[in-house]
């Protein structure tokens, strides 16, 4: 990478979570910028591309990489490219003076995608691609922790930009969490407190992200070979929230399985179904909880196991119908409590009760 000169540029002071650092505001042509291969938002996409082509990332052209990124729905590159096409790059990219792009990978690829489309259509390259706003930071002034703080500031604080996908957020949080525990030898709880402050999220969200990421790592590791593990990483990218839901409905709170063998069994069923990717019987995140509850219903679980998950919809109907019955029973209990607590019923209440008794008698005769 070419060193980006900051000579002659007056530095500005920018605050990243209570730490001031010099930034040098300038603009660069697109081809003087290079994407960041280790960026958590795109790292799994790059791994899949390398596996698919059989080439390391450095042997692939930027055109090949950009086209593959654009084909992945999760990055929504076409939408961003159209916005930049109308308005140019509005938010400066943050880049180290050695060329490492700390924030703006997606904007970079959107710009490159626009340039590729211009070349394919044989139309002029827009001037805004030769004048992309950047904030340059000198490498010698950055620690690894400071880099992660910049990432947090640029990608997590809601009013600065669109949030990263949940799996990328989890990996960024995990990176920072592990870094400060190693660097400062912090206990887990103290590290969680700092992560919450730096990323502007609650302690509960920090632990949910860390714990869900741990669950997804187990899912990925169970792949039969490297190709399957790469495929599973793609599933995690698209369906991280499904794992989050499983964690909170089966492993935490009042609904958690106390028996480890039961948890393992329902987790294996969840992994089996979610592992089918787009062909999975689980079509939306609302189906995760009924899948978990099926383990507590002998009939539903038997059907699910015998069908190897194929009859998930039927099982969900069984679970939901029984749930409605329990709700009705709860309403009856409330009604009975109301009756027993009232010393004197109003005339209207007595009239309603006579109607209820009459309907019940007619139903009984039928």
Ranges of each domain in the chain: 1-142
CA atoms within a 13 Å half-sphere pointing along the CA-CB vector of 118 = 16
Q: By C-alpha distance, which of 366, 83, 43, 77 is closest to 234?
A: 43
Q: Is 237 in contact with 165 (CB distance < 8 Å)?
A: yes
Q: At what angle do helices 166-184 and 203-221 cross, to 10 degrees?
A: 100
Taking the C-alpha atoms of residue 170 and residue 236, their distance in angstroms, rounded to an integer, is 11
User: Among all chains, which residue has been given the structure tokens 């997590």?
Assistant: 156
Residue 2 φ then ψ, to 5°: -80, 135
Q: What are phi and psi of 298, to 5 degrees?
A: -55, -45
147: tokens are 């880099």
pTM assigned to the model: 0.64
Tokens of 219: 């899912």
Measured between alpha carbons, how far is 325 from 294 in angstroms, rounded to an integer?
15
- Residues in the chain where the model's pLDDT stays below 50: 157-162
How far is Cα 46 from Cα 57, in angstroms, rounded to an integer?
A: 7
Question: What b/e sequence results for 141-163 when a residue is b if at least 16 CB atoms lie within 10 Å of its CB, and e otherwise?
Answer: ebeeebbbbbbbbbbbeeeeeee
Q: Token digits for 68? A: 């593959």
Nearest to 233 by CA among 50, 108, 54, 100: 50
pLDDT at res. 159: 35
Length of the chain: 366
- Tell me, what's the pLDDT at 189? 96
Is 137 in contact with 14 (CB distance < 8 Å)?
no
Q: What is the per-residue pLDDT for 158?
A: 42
Helical axes 226-246 vs 43-53, angle rounded to 10°: 150
């Amino acid at each position: 990478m070419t060193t980006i000169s900051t000579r002659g540029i007056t530095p500005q002071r920018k605050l990243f979570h209570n730490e001031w650092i010099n930034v040098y505001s300038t603009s660069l042509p697109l081809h003087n910028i290079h994407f960041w291969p280790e960026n958590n938002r795109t790292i799994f996409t790059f791994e899949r591309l390398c596996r698919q082509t059989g080439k390391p990332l450095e042997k692939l052209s930027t055109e090949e990489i950009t086209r593959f990124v654009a084909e992945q729905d999760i990055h929504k590159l076409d939408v961003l490219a159209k916005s930049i096409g109308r308005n140019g790059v509005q938010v400066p990219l943050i880049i180290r003076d050695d060329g490492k792009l700390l924030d703006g990978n997606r904007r970079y690829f959107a710009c490159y995608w626009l340039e590729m489309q211009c070349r394919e259509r044989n139309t002029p390259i827009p001037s805004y691609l030769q004048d992309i706003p950047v904030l340059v930071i000198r490498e010698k002034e950055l620690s690894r922790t400071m880099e992660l703080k910049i990432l947090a500031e640029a990608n997590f604080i809601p009013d600065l930009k669109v949030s990263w996908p949940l799996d990328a957020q989890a990996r960024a949080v995990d990176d920072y969490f592990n870094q400060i525990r190693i660097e400062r030898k912090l206990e887990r709880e103290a590290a969680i407190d700092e992560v919450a402050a730096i990323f502007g999220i609650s302690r509960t969200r920090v632990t949910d992200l860390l714990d869900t990421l741990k669950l997804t790592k187990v899912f990925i590791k169970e792949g039969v070979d490297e190709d399957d593990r790469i495929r599973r990483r793609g599933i995690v990218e698209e369906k991280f929230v499904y794992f989050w839901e499983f964690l909170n409905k089966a492993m935490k709170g009042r609904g958690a399985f106390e028996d480890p063998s039961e948890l393992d069994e329902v987790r294996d069923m969840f992994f089996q179904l979610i592992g089918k990717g787009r062909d999975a019987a689980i079509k939306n995140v609302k189906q995760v909880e009924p899948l978990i509850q099926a383990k507590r219903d002998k009939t539903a679980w038997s059907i699910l196991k015998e069908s190897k998950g194929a009859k998930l919809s039927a099982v969900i109907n069984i679970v939901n119908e029984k749930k409605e019955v329990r709700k009705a029973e709860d309403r009856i209990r409330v009604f009975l409590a109301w009756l027993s607590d009232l010393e004197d019923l109003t005339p209207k209440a007595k009239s309603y009760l006579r109607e209820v008794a009459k309907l019940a008698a007619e139903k009984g005769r039928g």
